[in-house]
Amino acid sequence: MARSPQITATMPKVSHGFMIAVYAHQACPAHGTGLPEQPPPAKIAGDTLLPPNRPDSSSGIQPVILLRPDRLPIALAFLPFLLTSGMPIKADEPSAWKKHVVNHRSPFEAVGVADINRDGKPDIFCGDSWYAAPDWTQHKVRDVPPGTNPHYHEDFADAPLDVNGDGKIDIVTCAYFSRRISWAEQPADPTQPWPEQTIDTPGSMETAYLVDLYGDQTPVLIPNVGGQVLLYELVSRSPTVEWMTRRLAAEGAGHGVGHGDVNRDGRLDLITPMGWYEQPVDRTGAWVFHPEFQLGTASIGILGHDFDGDGDTDVVWGMGHDFGLHWLKQSTDAEGKRVWTKEAIDTSFSQVHTLHLADFDGDGEMDFVTGKRIYAHASEPGATAEPCLFLYTYDRSASKWIKHVVYSGDPAPLAPLNPEERDAMKDFRPGSAGTGLQMAIHDLDGDGDLDIVAPGKSGLYWFENPRTTPGP
* Distance, first Cα to last Cα, the chain: 4
Q: Round to whole Å and give the CA distance between 94 and 80.
A: 31
* C-alpha radius of gyration, the chain, whole number: 23
Nearest to 22 by CA among 56, 55, 67, 53: 67
Quote the pLDDT of residue 467: 84
Residue ranges of the alpha helices (H) in 304-434? 424-427
CA atoms within 13 Å, Cβ hemisphere of 135:
2
- The residues near 253 (Cβ < 8 Å, ≥ 6 apart) are 225, 226, 227, 228, 229, 272, 274
Quote the pLDDT of residue 468: 65
- How would you write the pLDDT of the chain (472 residues) with one tens digit per residue? 444 333 333 333 333 333 333 333 333 333 333 333 333 333 323 333 333 333 333 333 333 434 444 444 434 443 443 343 333 333 445 689 999 999 999 999 999 999 999 999 999 999 999 999 999 999 999 999 999 999 999 999 999 999 999 999 999 999 999 999 999 999 999 999 999 999 999 999 999 999 999 999 999 999 999 999 999 999 999 999 999 999 999 999 999 999 999 999 999 999 999 999 999 999 999 999 999 999 999 999 999 999 999 999 999 999 999 999 999 999 999 999 999 999 999 999 999 999 999 999 999 999 999 999 999 999 999 999 999 999 999 999 999 999 999 999 999 999 999 999 999 999 999 999 999 999 999 999 999 999 999 999 999 999 999 986 555 4
Residue ranges of the alpha helices (H) in 92-190? none
Quote the pLDDT of residue 9: 35
Quote the pLDDT of residue 459: 98
**pLDDT tens-digit map of 129-182:** 999 999 999 999 999 999 999 999 999 999 999 999 999 999 999 999 999 999
pTM of the model: 0.81
Q: Round to whole Å and give the CA distance between 141 and 163.
A: 17
Distance of CA 337 to the CA centre of its chain: 35
Strand partners, 232: 221, 245
3-state SS track over the chain: CCCCCCCCCCCCCCCCCEEEECCCECCCCCCCCCCCCCCCCCEEECCEEECCCCCCHHHCECCEEEECHHHHHHHHHCHHHHCCCCCCCCCCCCCCCEEEEEECCCCCCCCEEECCCCCCCCEEEECCEEEECCCCEEEECCCCCECCCCCCECCCEEEEECCCCCCCCEEEEEECCCCEEEEECCCCCCCCCCCEEEEECCCCEEEEEEECCCCCCCCEEEEEECCCEEEEEEEECCCCCEEEEEEECHHHCCCCEEEECCCCCCCCEEEECCEEEECCCCCCCCCEEECCCCCCCECEEEEEECCCCCCCCEEEEEECCCEEEEEEEEEECCCCCEEEEEEEEEEEEECCCCCEEECCCCCCCCEEEEECCCCCCCCCCCCCCCCEEEEEEEECCCCEEEEEEEEECCCCCCCCCCHHHCCHHHHCCCCCCCCCCCCEEECCCCCCCCEEEECCCCCEEEEECCCCCCCC
- The residues near 84 (Cβ < 8 Å, ≥ 6 apart) are 24, 26
Quote the pLDDT of residue 57: 32
